[in-house]
Amino acid sequence: MAPFLASAVPMGIAGGVLGLSSGLSAWSTLGLAMAVNSGTAQFVGFALIANGAGWLTIILTTLILGLRMLIYSTILTPHVKDVPQRWRMLLGFGLIDAVFFVAIERLKKGELTRGKHLYFLGASGVMYITWMLSTVVGMVLGSAVPDLEKLGLDFPMTAMFVAMLATGLANWRVAAAICSAGLTVMLTHSLPYNLGIVVATVVGAGVGTACEYAMKSGTVDTAATDDVSDSGHVESDHVENKENSR
């Protein structure tokens, strides 16, 4: 959790700076951050508002950017069977990249049997509060220091994502998924509304799955079964690594 928190601070600050420089009031900047609870939706929203985009475009873009969350939410679905509906609403609202990756790793290791939704909500809450406080800091800094958005505060989040990819690179099928998703996103960058991210995710996951099934059909059953459990542990490797480094 700690590395995610640390990288949320510069991203939140960047958001606060961007909001004001996009022409939004302080209340709108913070309000938008609080309502969407998503860095991507927030940054793209600021850019669209600054460019004078219509409300329908802004709303649809937010929805399309959220399709990624549809995937996260579906992955977590088997784990919330015993969680009441009113808790699921809060879980849904708090579901962001960082919380998803932390939660799914813990859940796969079976560490969270009782009260897992509380662990999940705690992580969401801490991330949310950190993000909003950082946004306020960004607004204060943004009105005091000019050109702050050119400092490269967006890189820590990218570095974290790259580190997750590299440390979790368990086998060639994961590498194939990464490369095909990367290639697709670069080739589809001209698609509107960042739709390329969604297309690339589907292509990458599809290629990884195709590789796994191609390999399974070509080898003895036992070997294939071993490999399936391998890829299932890709994410839990991250957790072990993170804990080693603390």
Partner 1 sequence: MTMTLLILGMGLCSFLPRYVPLAIFANREMHPVVKTLLNYTPPAVLAALVFPAILAPSGEGLEITVSNPYLIGGVATFVAGLVSKKFLLVTAIGIVVFFLSRWLLG
Closer CB to partner 1, 129 or 169, in the complex: 169
Which residues in the 9-48 window bind partner 1 by CB under 8 A? 24-25, 28, 31-32, 34-38, 41, 45
Give the span between the Cα atoms of 74 and 62, in whole angstroms.
Answer: 19
78, 110, 146, 218: which one binds partner 1 (CB under 8 A): 78
Using CA atoms, how far apart are residues 204 and 177, in angstroms rounded to an integer?
A: 4
Nearer of residues 77 and 219 to partner 1, judged by Cβ: 77
Q: Does 172 bind partner 1 (CB under 8 A)?
A: no
DSSP for 143-189 reads HHSTTGGGS-TTHHHHHHHHHHHHHT--SHHHHHHHHHHHHHHHHTT
User: Closer CB to partner 1, residue 80 or residue 137?
Assistant: 80
Q: Is 81 helix (H, G, I), strand (E, B) or coil?
A: coil
Instruction: Pick between residue 132 and residue 163 the one whose CB is nearest to partner 1.
Output: 163
Task: Tell me if 3 contacts partner 1 by CB under 8 A.
Answer: yes
122 binds partner 1 (CB under 8 A): no
Binder of partner 1 out of 140, 182, 191, 224 (CB under 8 A)? 182
Residue 101 interacting with partner 1 (CB under 8 A): yes
Q: Which residues contact 206 (CB under 8 A, 6 or more apart)?
A: none
Shortest gap between Cβ of 18 and partner 1 (angstroms)?
Answer: 14
State the nearest-atom distance from the C-beta of 137 to partner 1, in Å: 19
Residue 141's alpha-carbon distances to 20, 134, 180, in angstroms, are 10, 10, 40
DSSP single-letter state for residue 51: T
